[in-house]
Structure 1
Amino acid sequence: MNDVKGMLSLYEATHLRLHEEDILEEALAFSKAQLIKSLAENSCPRLAKQISNTLEYPLHKSMPRLEALKFISFYEQEESINETLLLFAKLDFNRVQLLHQQDLSHLSRS
């Protein structure tokens, strides 16, 4: 398969389906089978890890902040990255983490 990232996007999109959307059910089965096949054939460890992570934890069925952390680590390994975008993603993640730590600290004092 040539377009693994496109197949990952299709797989993620199929998780937004509603009941009785047969075409999306078929797309889910197809994209999952293609990703599993690609996982077996793929020689790039970075992409294989991203595929297995997506198959195990689809984005729309997971916790957004944990997925953001995983995405940052995947994005850092990309061949062409936007340094500014990466910096903002890290700053955002760290800022939210700090806010949660402060909230937890206030709660534990009460």
Structure 2
Amino acid sequence: MAHSCLVLGGKVDIFNKFKDNMGNFKESLTNDVKGMLSFYEATHMRVHGEDILDEALKFTTTHLESMAINFSHPLATQVSQALNRPIRKCLPRVEARQYFSIYQENASHNEVLLNFAKLDFNMLQKQHQKELSHISR
């Protein structure tokens, strides 16, 4: 949702479409938890002077924190982890490993994709172990 807008154009004006006539973020956004989570993650791509993304961070954080207690297990875990460690501020490989268990619990997960991701993770980890062993001799 919002994240792709940042990546594609770098223009934050696009986020104005999420505001109502009063200049507040639309309350209807809170009906889409995964969208809110994506919006929250996108706010961490902000740079100094992007006030709308500062506002969006406050909005999404407040709503995700208040709604998190009502979520089912995989979604509650995902929201909790995102609030504690946004993807933008994490090491991708560490975050990937932690995401496997969350994704696996999702009823609509793709088993082939999950197995491929685990295989890729394990192969790269093995390569890193070999390299570390080689340079520490």
TM class by shorter-chain length? over 0.9
Q: How many angstroms does 1:57 deviate by? A: 0.4
Per-residue deviation, 1:106: 0.6
Please name the residue that 1:101 is paired with: 129
Q: Secondary structure at the match of 2:31?
A: coil
Note the alpha carbon deviations across 1:4-59, whole angstroms, 9 max, x for none: 1111100000000110101111011000001001113x141222111110001000
Match of 2:5 in 1: none
Q: Does 1:92 align with 2:117?
A: no
The aligned counterpart of 2:64 is 35
Q: Match for residue 81 of structure 1?
A: 109
Instruction: For 1:60 and 1:47, locate their aligned partners in 2 and report how far apart those are by CA, in whole Å.
Output: 19
Gap regions ≥5 residues in structure 2: 1-29
Give distance in 2, aligned partners of 1:63 and 1:29.
Answer: 24
- For the Cα contact (< 8 Å) 2:43–2:57, is it kept in 1? yes
Structure 1: 4+ residue segments shifted above 3 A: none
**Aligned residues between the structures:** 108
Contact 2:74–2:103 (CA under 8 A) maintained in structure 1: no
Q: Distance in 2 between matches of 1:24 and 1:47?
A: 24
- Identical residues among aligned pairs (%): 54
> Which consecutive residues of structure 1, in runs of 5 or more, have no partner in the other structure?
none
Aligned partner of residue 136 in structure 2, secondary structure: helix
Matched, 1:64 2:89: no
Superposition CA RMSD, Å: 1.1
